[in-house]
Amino acid sequence: DSCGAAVKEAKMANVLEATNRQQFEDFLAKAGKNLAVVHFQAAWAPQCGQMNEVMAELAKEHAHATFVKLEAEAVPEVSEKYDISSVPTFILFKGGEKVDRLDGAHAAELTKKVQGLAGSRSPQGAADGGAGDLNQRLKKLINAAPCMLFMKGSTQEPRCGFSRQMVALLKEHSVQFSTFDILSDEEVRQGLKAYSNWPTYPQLYVNGELVGGLDIVKELAESGELENTCPKAVTLEHRLKTIINQSPVMLFMKGNKEAARCGFSRQILEVLNTAGVDFDTFDILQDEEVRQGLKTYSNWPTYPQLYVKGELIGGLDIVKELKESGELESVLRGES
């Protein structure tokens, strides 16, 4: 059928892509009682690309589970239904019903949730494999993200003082990292000590190599080397400032110059097009993080929003008032 023909397999084997609500529902129906993992993603976000690779690896290990990715903004009715406000977000289903959720690029946590809900491929085989299999598992976890922190608890709820300090330190230095809760897995907790020859937690790994514990990370932070050691997270505020200043006149709208996707955006385009001043646009429907973040950043709850030289001018009503008073052109040129 036409829906089936539109289904695209992602470049990575076994990860399916849904481009509309019908495909999404079809995938859930076909999964039946088996696990279905749905990744709400955005093409612009590098962390989503990393997590798709994690999904591809999990798909190889769990052949009975279904792994689906979909652009959060392209299927807004599905995103709204499951309260998707940022990417990446993962919703896990069984029998068509939501059974779990994970917000953020936490490879190890996603792996753990999938293993718990899909079941291991061969528990007996894992037992027979012994230390060799455990070492392979540890190696996979260590390399699950460019920066991996093995800690007690999670970033939201650290379960010991050292882990709490480590998380605070990494966040303070805008380090992008994933975590694994060693309290949830005794085999990993004990095995990693021997594997890394490091007897305590937390433990921080970068690109598969042990950096060390809290004391070493503190020393790196004090010497200014931590930023060079760990991958840097681009803060949302920095992203917003960069986009706002991309052009002297920037319009944040639904759609683009060629195709406005709401009446207010269409009207503001008509007004600006008569002003004779060049402007660039940003389609908020393509970027949920910007769409939500800019409302807070600008303290302006609606769209469209117009900026001149990095400063908020306002929305459609203000732009209309400026046109009626004859001030619009000078405001757009940054003259007043």
pTM, 2 dp: 0.40
CATH 3.40.30.10 fits 144-229, yes or no: yes
**16 bridge partner residues:** 9, 68
Whether the Cβ atoms of residue 153 and residue 181 lie closer than 8 Å to each other: yes
pLDDT at residue 265, rounded to an integer: 94
Fold agreement between 15-117 and 238-333: yes
Report how far residue 184's alpha carbon sits from residue 302's, in angstroms, rounded to the nearest whole number.
43
State pLDDT tens for residues 84-107: 888 899 999 998 899 999 988 888
Do the bridges between strand 203-206 and strand 8-9 make them parallel or antiparallel, or are there none, so unpaired?
A: unpaired
Task: For the domain made up of 15-117, give the CATH fold.
Answer: Glutaredoxin (3.40.30)
pLDDT at residue 327, rounded to an integer: 94
Q: Is the pLDDT score of 67 beyond 90?
A: yes
The DSSP 8-state label assigned to residue 212 in this structure reads: E
Closest CA to 55 of 87, 119, 10: 10
Report how far residue 91's alpha carbon sits from residue 150's, in angstroms, rounded to the nearest whole number.
24
State pLDDT tens for residues 169-222: 998 887 878 888 898 888 899 999 989 988 899 999 998 899 999 999 999 999
State pLDDT tens for residues 263-286: 999 999 999 999 989 999 999 988
Mean pLDDT over all residues of the chain?
85
DSSP symbols for 175-204: B--EEEEGGG-HHHHHHHHHHHT--SS-EE
Q: Name the CATH superfamily for 238-333.
A: Glutaredoxin (3.40.30.10)
State pLDDT tens for residues 2-29: 333 333 333 344 688 888 899 899 889 8
Q: How far lies 119's CA from each of 23, 34, 62, 140, in Å?
A: 26, 10, 8, 18
Sequence ranges of the domains in the chain? 15-117, 144-229, 238-333
